[in-house]
Structures are given as C-alpha cells and as structure tokens.
Structure 1
Amino acid sequence: MKKAIICINGVETLDFFSKQIKEELEKRKIKVFGLDLKNLKNSLKKMQKFIEPRQTTLITFNFEGLEREEYIYNEKNKRYVWQELKVICINIVVDHPYYYYDRLNDLIEDFSADNYFDNYLHVSIDKKHKCYMKQYYKIIKNNEFLPLAGTKIFNEEDHGSEYQNTKVKCDENKNIKIKDRKIDIVFAGNYTPEYEFEKNINWINEEYAEFYRDIIETLKEKTDKTFEEIAHKKCVKTLGNIKDEDFINVMNKMIFIDLYIRNYYRGKAVKEIVMSDHKIVVIGKGWEKLKKNIPCDKWKNIKHIKQTNTEECLKLIADAKISLNVMPWFKDGAHDRVFSSILNGAVCLTDSSKYLEKELKNEEGVIYFKLNEEKNIGEIIDKYDDSRLQKIVDDGNKKVIEKHRWNKRTEKIIEMEEKLRENSKS
C-alpha cells in the first residue's frame, strides 16, 4: 500500500477507528489523506491531487464515501470517483449486513457495470456476517473477517476523569491499579426500553405482530442462535420456501427485532447489577427510562452520564474495575469494547461468542456470563475481590496487547489490500 484515504467528520465512532488506522499507516510511512465528509467539494479537489491511480486505497467504515455522496458520485454516469481514478475500496462494516440492504443494492448497481467488485473488499467484524454476505451477496466476491481492535487511551502522564483526577501509582501497563479505581462497574452504550418497539411490532396487523413476537421469544430462548437463523426458520414455516432476495428484504424490514433484543439484554444486565446492590455508571442515552423498572432504593446504585464521545468513554473505563459488555448479537465475532476495556485495565464482564472464547478464556481479561442467566450476574461479581480482578486483567492484557490492538489490525488490512490488488491484476 502506497497511499490511503480515510473519511473524517462523519460518524464519531467511525472517525475514531479511522484515526487509529491512520496513525498506524503513517508509522509505516504510508501517506494518508482525510476526506472531509462535511466539506466534500473542497476536500475532493485536494484528494484528486493526492490520488495516484492504481496506487491509492480507500479504507472506510460502514459505506462512508460509498453512499452516493455529492461530488464523490456522478449521478449521470452512475460512477464514483473511486472508479474513475482506479482506487481500491476496503469497506469495514461494523454492523450486520441487513442494516445496509439499500446501500448494498446501490453498490451492486454502481459497481456491476464495469465489474469494479474486483477492486472492492467487504470486511465483516463477525464471521456470521461474512457467511451472510457470501450466501446472499455472491456478486461481492471479496469478503474477509476482521474484528475491531482495542484502543488504550492513557499515556503514562495522563490519568484522570471526574472520578480519578490525581496522580496514582500505575501498573506495568501504565494503567491505574484495580484497587485505586473509583468506579466499580461501567457500561458505555445507549438504551431503548422494549415498549418503544411496540409501534414497530404492530406496524402492519396482528398476524404480523404475532410473527415478530414469536421470533423475539425464540431469540430469548436460543441465545446462541443468530437472528437470521431463527428468522429464516420462521419464514419457511410460515410462508414455505422463500427466495434469497425476498429473505434479505424481509430481514431489512425486521431490524427493529435486532435492536429490541440487544436493548432487552442491556436493560436486564444493568437491572440485575443494580438489584444486587452493585454500583454502576451508565454512559449514553435513554437510561432514565429504566427507572420505572427499578425500586427507588435500588436506583441510587446507578449514576447516569449523558452520551459522550469514544475517548471520554474510554477515560471512564480506565477508571473502572469492571466494564460491562453486552454483545450486539455477535455470535462469532467481538465488540471493540471487550479489547479496549482490557487494554485500559478493566475486567470485561461480557456474554461470549464462538470467536471470543477462542481468543480469551474465562478469566483472561474477561468474565463470561450467559444472556439467559442474568440473575446470576450479582453473584458472579461477588466472587471477585480487587486482587482477583487485577490478576484477571493482567492475564488478559498480555494477549490483547499481542493480538488485538490496531497495529495488528492495520497489518492485516495491508495484507488484505495486497492480496486484493494482486488478484485484481490476474
């Protein structure tokens, strides 16, 4: 890879990931240009001077720069500037493909005309997502799996949040020691209560509502199954055989079920922690809506901090003993929150996945719990004092530093790009 383009001033979390990759690329003497999504007209002029045809690669997240944006996309000839200037496109998609049904259809229309998929790589952060792409989007032939990485936020001189703003003694990884941390448990993420999804469940008629509720209840029973596995069985049972193109359209119409189930388990996990008299800091929108489900004398165990940026979330995690994670229904992948928590010295209390269990055994930076056994979370937490938590995070840190930081992910991206470039020539 000689030159790379990343997108900036888009979605905050994606900007954060792009920044980490940019830093790693520049360490390797690869020139990087930041395409300003808020000022595309002026930024595009500079980018066109930067690009060397066939020597430049776009590394983007969630289709940023591939959404038919003005100036990047020519409506008349249905082509992107990437096609005109022979730029390889690596698209790292951090959500399930069914969230991008329209984007994928547009991309197929735009890239099929000149067979530009030879120069396009679709990267999934869960192996099940990759399988979905291979099964339902066969025209997109270049598919890879690469989970997000963890990010360490503090350097040796910079420790502090509203909780911990004085100099403290750090461990060998330059993290605040568990015994000196001011937050017992932290969770970073928004919350939407189940009742807010009722309008989605009932949007057609009662027959459809029963169908949706059946899927939801089955997902609660079979927490090891993916949404698409359960949904496909229910569709076949109800409708008979269903064509692939119809099924992926149906999945896109039912993404509210994915949002329902992940929020359902987020709420349950936080509630059980609070009910077992453990204190937790929750960061994000919507948590005040959980109050109606929790007795007043238990609500005092929650401190709610409004939604903030990724860096501020990591600062709070770096002051916490335990960082709660509830997977966004990843069954063979991992959330970056797991790796970032460990790198910043917090034990990650999380549900598991097939991939994650291979990478980190229980008590190697993580403590696993089962989604349908949340009532045991309080008892699980009670088992661990500060010294045990310190040993767990120390053991996990060694593995995460070795395998799950952005330097390793960037190396893999470079390898993928070289392979794609070589294959596109043949």
Structure 2
Amino acid sequence: MKVILIKNAVETLGYFSEQLAETFQEMGHDTYFVDYDDLVNTVDGISRFAVPEKTVLCTFNFIGLSGEEVFIEENGRYIWENQGIACINILVDHPLYYHSKLAKPPVPEMRVFCIDREHVVYMKRFYPALPVEFLPLAGNCILEREVPSPIEGCHGQKQKHKNIPYQKRKYDIVFTGNYTPVEHLYREIDRQGAEYRTFYYEILEDMKAHPAVSIDRMLEAHIRKELGAVPDEELRAAIAGMVFIDICMRSYFRGEIIKCLAEHKIPVHVFGANWEKLDCSSHEYIIKNGREVDSVTCAEAIADARISLNVMPWFKDGTHDRVFTAMLQHTLSLTDDSRYLRENFTDKKELVFYSLEKREELPELVKKLLEKPEKCMEIAERGYESAVQEHTWKQRAEAILMDLVK
C-alpha cells in the first residue's frame, strides 16, 4: 500500500504525520509527503506516486479536504477522488468544529477517526453515514536530528535523543501549550444581545461547576431547556455554532490550573505564547519562554522535567498527547482524568491524577510529589513501560492499517 501524508500545514499535526510515516515505512509501505512549504511541486507529484485503489491519504482535521484550490481539479473534484485515493481523516478536536464538512463530506470515500470515545458516539448519532472509529492520540518521540557537519558540503550525522537522568533534570514541573486570554473570548460574547449573553454565560458557569460533563452534553441540555424538543439536524448545527464555548473552557481551566500553582509559590515553567496575559498575582512563579514552540521543543522540555502537567482540552473519554509524551520521556505525567485514562491506568502507578473540581488540592499534591523524587521516578518508569508498548504513533499506525483491511 502507498500512503500520502501532509506536513507544514499545522506544525503539531505534521509532527504526528512524520512519526506515522516512520512506521508505515518500517511495515514496507511507500510514503509520500505533500509539503505546504512546497505545495505546487508536491501536489504535482501525487499523480506520479499514487496507484488507484492502492493509495490512501492519511490526514488530520480535514487538511487537504477543506476546499483548498490546489487539491481541486478541473472537473471540480478533489485529486483524491479522481486518483482513486481513499481518505483517512483523524479529528483531534471535537467533531462540532467540523460540522459543515461532516454534514457534506468532501469526498465519497472518507473514514473518520476520533480521539475521544464520546466524539465517536457523537459522530454516530449526528453523522451516521460516515464510518468512524476510536483512535486515541499517542505520545511524541523526539525524532533523530541531523547535527551539521563541520565540513562544508557534507551531510551531518543523525543524533538520537538521550534520556536525561531523573535527578539531573532542569525543571521540577513544566506545562507545554499556549494561553488564550479568556477576557478576549468573553468580549465576543458581550457583543451579543442581552438574551444571548445570559444564555452563554449560564452555560459557562454550569461547565465551570461540572467539568466532568462533555461539551456536547452540556450544550444539548441548555439548548433543550431553552427551546424544548429540537430535531437532531437542527441540534447539531446549534451545537456547532457554539464552538467558542469549548475554546473558552479550555482556556479558563488551563489558566486556572497554572494560576493555582503559581499563587501557592510553586514555580511552573510554561513553554508557549501569551502566558504574560494570564490574570495572576504571582507571575514570578510562572517562568515563561515567551513564544510559541514546536513539537520537538515541547518534547525536549518535558524530557528535562521531573513532572509534566497536563490540562485536558475537554476530552472526557480520551486523552491528550501530552500525557503519553511525558511517559515516553521517562517523566511523571500529572493530569486531570478521563474515563479512558481511568480504564487504562492506575493513579500513582503509571501517572498521577488531579481533579479539576478539587483543584485547590493540586498545590499540596505537587509539593508531596516533589518531596519524593524516588517515588516519582518509579511512577515515571512504569509510565514509560506502558507507553512505549501501547501508546506511540507506531501502535496507532498499525491500528489504522488494520482498520483499512477489515
């Protein structure tokens, strides 16, 4: 089989794709990258690479399927359809972000993978015509880097990342990810009419009070309370129209968790943009790198930390790649929980859970962990053993191929 992947559209998703490509190649499959930094030439190469009915596009979040003119040919169809290329589309956000594309799929042959089991249920209910499966996110390995040669014109040597001994690591606790100021998001709500403002703020307060409830369940409850019985077709459109609620809650809890630690004088090294905009009285305990960082930099920061903090982006029956990336770097993963994580891991065995509802207990939990580095190291090592066997992009690539040959 031949596999086409995409890079340099969204950095993180390109990094996922590079790791998938390594496994596809190891399994004897040819791979080809469409490069957004060289779109014209690499799209032109698709027809030379692809073999009809024996080639698949493996993409994320509808990249290459979002109406980009470069992929649409003279007959108005995508190159994938014209070339007999099946499409695998991995959604790393809630399907509500992609309502218009899911309601009218861009190509006839498209399989969808969701990274949260509740997202799969949502898809089967609201978009039943599309085949969908669960595929959890995986951890990022630090791919080999080429060290430049001192001799001009010569290729450098590939250098593998070496595990940093736990006791010699630079950071106690890191968080990798950007911050979006919630005040900016609230201003968008404030531009609405009074009735809408009241409706949206009621939802936000309800979600703050009940963070274990998924976004679609919460939105549906409030829509039905306001409008009564609503047909599913109208309901899915209404839910999709409130995507900003999801963005608000992601940002709110991300900020609250970092602020909670900082205001208890626990230093947190944050790798990402806009953390200086967080409303916090103890910014001296939020050590910022001051810019957006790529996947390798995130993984390297985690690899030099004793604890990697995760705040789930409202995945209630899945997980974020930060959890498994930490495990693969022999770093203790400290995360809010989900049903999927609770089923697959035991608290204080392979990772450590904290509660969004009881986040006031987090500072004491972190202090106790930092006081017991030997115990943290044991948890980190058990996490590594689990992740390296079951939660790398190698296992996800194998799952994708198994689904294709069903």
Q: Report what 1:84 is aligned to.
A: 82
Residue by residue, what CA displacement relative to the aligned partner does 1:379-407 show, whole Å, maximum 9, x if unpaired?
00122221111011011111111110111
Tell whether 2:366 aligns with 1:367. no
CA distance in 1, matches of 2:26, 2:89: 22
SS in 2 for 1:322: strand
Residue by residue, what CA displacement relative to the aligned partner does 1:311-337 show, whole Å, maximum 9, x if unpaired?
011111100111110000000001011
SS in 1 for 2:64: coil
SS in 2 for 1:332: coil
Q: Report what 2:26 is aligned to.
A: 27
> 1:3–1:32: 8 Å Cα contact kept in structure 2?
yes
Tell whether 2:397 aligns with 1:410. yes
CA distance in 2, matches of 1:73, 1:103: 15
SS in 2 for 1:260: helix
Q: Report what 1:304 is aligned to.
A: 288
> 1:156–1:174: 8 Å Cα contact kept in structure 2?
no
Mark the runs of 5 or more structure 2 residues left unpaired by the alignment: 148-160
Q: Report what 2:102 is aligned to.
A: 104
- 1:17-416 equivalent positions in 2, closer than 5 A: 17-74=16-73, 77-107=75-105, 110-111=106-107, 116=108, 119-140=109-130, 142-153=131-142, 175-290=163-278, 292-294=279-281, 298-305=282-289, 306-384=291-369, 385-416=372-403
CA distance in 2, matches of 1:342, 1:235: 40
CA distance in 2, matches of 1:195, 1:343: 35
SS in 2 for 1:281: strand
Structure 2 counterpart of 1:301, one-letter code: Y
TM-score (norm 1): 0.88
SS in 1 for 2:212: coil
Residue by residue, what CA displacement relative to the aligned partner does 1:116-153 show, whole Å, maximum 9, x if unpaired?
2xx3210000011111111111121x100001111222
Displacement after TM superposition at 1:39 (Å): 3.3
Q: Report what 2:5 is aligned to.
A: 6
CA distance in 2, matches of 1:156, 1:3: 26
Moved beyond 4 Å, runs of 4+:
154-158
Structure 2 counterpart of 1:128, one-letter code: E
Displacement after TM superposition at 1:174 (Å): 5.2
> 1:154–1:315: 8 Å Cα contact kept in structure 2?
no
> 1:155–1:174: 8 Å Cα contact kept in structure 2?
no
The alignment covers a number of residue pairs equal to: 390
SS in 2 for 1:39: helix
TM-score (norm 2): 0.92
Q: Report what 1:166 is aligned to.
A: none
CA distance in 1, matches of 2:90, 2:346: 27
CA distance in 2, matches of 1:339, 1:309: 17
More deviation, 148-157/273-282: 148-157
CA distance in 1, matches of 2:182, 2:66: 31
CA distance in 1, matches of 2:344, 2:387: 9
